[in-house]
């Protein structure tokens, strides 16, 4: 006779397998699918989403959760049960009709965005976004009423459990108190430095080969993943079959290369999740910010360090051709160049938080009903002017239409990017403490000790521990933003 916990495990294994199919279908939708397949694919994904929702919210699942809570479970099983309960509670708050409607609206908005963004068509985009926002507000209302939180906090909790707007206001407020001055000082400092730009064009095929070569250096398992192209770089798929994407520009190669390194960080996390807990909630990545910490650890902490850059420079020259600008000193300066720009995914470390905070403030106001979709462009320009001194009036393509997240209603997601940067800085500091000779190791291309540390302290634990506890276990303390500031000042001001 199977126990309640065993029955729940079987149910969540089934949900995981359906999720596997949805993940690969979603990847295909953004990379390979012909335009004419959009509506049918959107409907198929919505149908699958409803099916998963119905399975998860079956009253029997609730009964089994109560019964399993009384069982004698070990620590991992208890953690898995906690994640099951959370998933069930979150799903039970929404009717299937809303799940389907939101999926369909998101698919329509995202697919249309691919053509509307290049055309700078804000009016066309806004028409679709309004429906996504309407449904997201309804979701937020239902979740907030059940959980006793603000509407935005109810959505934020989906991505970063336990995080609140109040905590973000405090953390981001402190960041805003010193970052603008630091940004200005670094820009002024770098204005006195000569940096030579590499001369293209750089063939896309060669850039792809370079990306694959660096992925191999970073330990990506090609038996369980692949690299493709999409309009917006992302990491998708499942741990057994991780799909990462980038986008190429023949006139410069660094954005694609760094995008590949970033997404490889996500992929290594997925590939390193505990195999013995696969298909169970406890085997999933801990949170969105922890996931982002792994990509930013790989890109910003490791990938843009002088030691790593000098190590991969021969690969760059081999694939793209040697030239004067690709000497070691200039290559490091290129990748650490600070220049406020319009595009978030291409932003440097110092400018990036401003992009995130801008989006956080706008999307919170949008979900809370303080502003409407039509207010976004003017508010975007106002905040971009204040934060980075950039004018986005009329430039929707490089302004409020540049990201994909809002198209499918992923409100509450953006803050996790800067939280992830803070986590990454704190984790890298812990690695340096654990490996005092890290710089020398990196110079000799010895990356495995770093990956072993991540596997031991982050990857293998999946969702066994809450985010705060995972960070304490790994670094010895809770989130401490001073490591992020320390990292930036040391890298850009040599402090």
- Feature table: binding site for Zn(2+): 262, 266, 292
Q: What's phi and psi for 252, nearest 5 deg?
A: -155, 150
Task: Return the number of other C-beta atoms located less than 10 Å from residue 14's C-beta.
Answer: 14
CB hemisphere CA count around 421 (13 angstroms): 24
**Are 366 and 155 within 8 A, CB to CB?**
no
Region of 111 (left: φ > 0; alpha: ψ -120 to 50; beta: rest) is alpha
Is 263 assigned a catalytic role?
A: yes
Q: Any idea which residue has 């792809």 for tokens?
A: 208
For the chain, the straight-line distance linking the first and the last C-alpha, in angstroms and rounded, comes to: 64
Rounded to the nearest 5 percent, the helix, strand and coil shares of the chain are 70, 5, 25
Angle at 256 between CA 251 and CA 262, to 5 degrees: 160
Q: Rounded distance, CA 374 to CA 386, Å?
A: 20
Task: Return the number of other C-beta atoms located less than 10 Å from residue 399's C-beta.
Answer: 21
Tell me how many helices (H) and strands (E) the chain has.
20, 3
Note the helical H segments in 32-95. 38-56, 59-69, 75-92
- Reduce the DSSP state of residue 149 to 3 states and report it: coil
- Reduce the DSSP state of residue 203 to 3 states and report it: coil
User: Burial level of 476, CB count in 10 A (0-12/13-18/19+)?
Assistant: exposed
**Contact residues for 36 (Cβ-Cβ < 8 A; gap 6+):** none
Structure tokens given for 175 = 């960041």
Structure tokens given for 316 = 């760059």
CB hemisphere CA count around 255 (13 angstroms): 16
DSSP character string of 260-281: HHHHHHHHHHHHHS-GGGTTSG
Q: Rounded distance, CA 329 to CA 212, Å?
A: 24
The DSSP symbol for 202 reads -
DSSP character string of 285-345: -S-HHHHHHHHHIIIIIIITSHHHHHHHHHHHHHHH---GGGSHHHHHHHHT-----S-GG
Catalytic position from the list 110, 263, 270, 299:
263
Nearest to 334 by CA among 323, 319, 318: 323
Active site residues: 263
């Amino acid at each position: 006779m199977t126990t309640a916990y065993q029955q729940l495990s079987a149910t969540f294994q089934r949900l995981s397998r359906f999720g596997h199919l949805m993940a690969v279908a979603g990847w295909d939708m953004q990379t390979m699918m012909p335009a004419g397949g959009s509506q049918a694919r959107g409907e198929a994904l919505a149908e699958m989403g409803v099916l998963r929702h119905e399975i998860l919210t079956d009253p029997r699942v609730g009964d089994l959760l109560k019964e399993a809570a009384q069982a004698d479970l070990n620590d991992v099983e208890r953690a898995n049960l906690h994640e099951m309960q959370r998933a069930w509670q979150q799903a039970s708050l929404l009717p299937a009709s809303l799940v389907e409607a939101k999926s369909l609206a998101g698919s329509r908005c995202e697919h249309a965005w691919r053509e509307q963004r290049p055309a700078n068509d804000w009016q066309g985009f806004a028409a679709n976004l309004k429906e996504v926002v309407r449904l997201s507000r309804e979701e937020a209302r239902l979740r907030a009423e059940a959980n006793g939180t603000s509407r935005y906090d109810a959505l934020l909790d989906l991505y970063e459990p336990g995080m609140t707007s109040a905590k973000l206001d405090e953390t981001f407020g402190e960041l805003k108190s010193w970052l603008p001055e630091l940004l200005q000082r670094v820009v002024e400092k770098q204005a006195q430095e000569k940096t030579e730009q590499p001369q293209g064009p750089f063939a896309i095929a060669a850039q792809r080969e370079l990306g694959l070569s660096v992925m191999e250096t970073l330990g990506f398992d090609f038996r369980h993943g692949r690299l493709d192209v999409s309009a917006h770089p992302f990491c998708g798929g499942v741990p057994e079959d991780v799909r990462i994407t980038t986008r190429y520009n023949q006139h410069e190669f660094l954005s694609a290369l760094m995008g590949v390194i970033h997404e490889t960080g996500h992929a290594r996390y997925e590939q390193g999740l505990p195999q013995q807990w696969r298909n169970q909630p406890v085997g999933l990545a801990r949170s969105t910010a922890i996931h982002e910490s792994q990509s930013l650890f790989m890109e910003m902490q490791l990938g843009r360090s002088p030691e790593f850059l000098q190590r991969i420079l021969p690969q760059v020259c081999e694939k793209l051709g040697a030239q004067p600008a690709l000497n070691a000193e200039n290559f490091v300066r290129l990748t650490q160049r600070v220049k406020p720009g319009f595009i978030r995914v291409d932003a440097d470390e110092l400018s990036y938080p401003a992009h995130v905070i801008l989006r956080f403030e706008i999307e919170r106001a949008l979900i809370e009903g303080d502003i409407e979709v039509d207010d976004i462009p003017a508010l975007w320009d106002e905040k971009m002017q204040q934060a980075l001194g950039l004018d986005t009036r009329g430039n929707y393509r490089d302004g409020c239409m540049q990201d994909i997240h809002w198209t499918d209603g992923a409100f509450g997601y953006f803050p996790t990017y800067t939280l992830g940067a803070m986590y990454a800085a704190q984790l890298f500091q812990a690695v340096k403490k654990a490996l005092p000779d890290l710089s020398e190791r990196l110079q000799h291309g010895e990356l495995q000790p770093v990956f072993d540390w991540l596997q031991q302290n982050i990857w293998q634990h999946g969702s066994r521990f809450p985010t705060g506890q995972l960070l304490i276990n790994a670094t010895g303390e809770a989130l401490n933003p001073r490591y992020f500031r320390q990292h930036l000042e040391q890298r850009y001001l040599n402090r």
